[in-house]
């Protein structure tokens, strides 16, 4: 039996997880040397946009909450 775990569903989940990790590290301004053009080319741009927007919303919400907590 061929136990290939690279089904389209697994590739999509793996790619989405890679997108989350890339955006999280980008928010911190860190990039691994092992990230190459091939890795970046395999990631779906829509995943990057979705994860980036969610990350920005979470960051802004956390800042608003923190400022409100400090000012009170």
Whether residue 7 is predicted with pLDDT greater than 60 in this model: the reply is no
Model-level pTM? 0.63
Q: Domain map of the chain by residue range?
A: 14-28+38-71
Listed ranges 22-31, 37-46, 58-67; the one with the highest mean pLDDT: 58-67
**Residue 61's pLDDT is what?**
97
- R_g (Cα) of the chain, nearest Å: 17
For residues 23 and 38, give the distance between their C-alpha atoms in angstroms, rounded to a whole number: 17
Would you tell me how many other CB atoms lie within 10 Å of the CB of residue 44?
A: 14
What pLDDT digit, counting tens, does each position of 36-61 carry?
A: 555 666 777 888 888 889 989 999 99
pLDDT of 1 over the 60 cut: no
């Amino acid at each position: 039996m061929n136990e290939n775990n690279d089904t389209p569903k697994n590739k999509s989940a793996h790619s989405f997880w890679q997108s989350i990790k890339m955006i999280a590290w980008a928010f911190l301004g860190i990039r691994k040397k092992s990230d190459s053009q091939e890795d970046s080319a395999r990631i779906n741009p829509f995943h990057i946009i979705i994860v980036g927007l969610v990350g920005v919303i979470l960051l802004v919400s956390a800042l608003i909450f923190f400022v409100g907590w400090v000012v009170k």
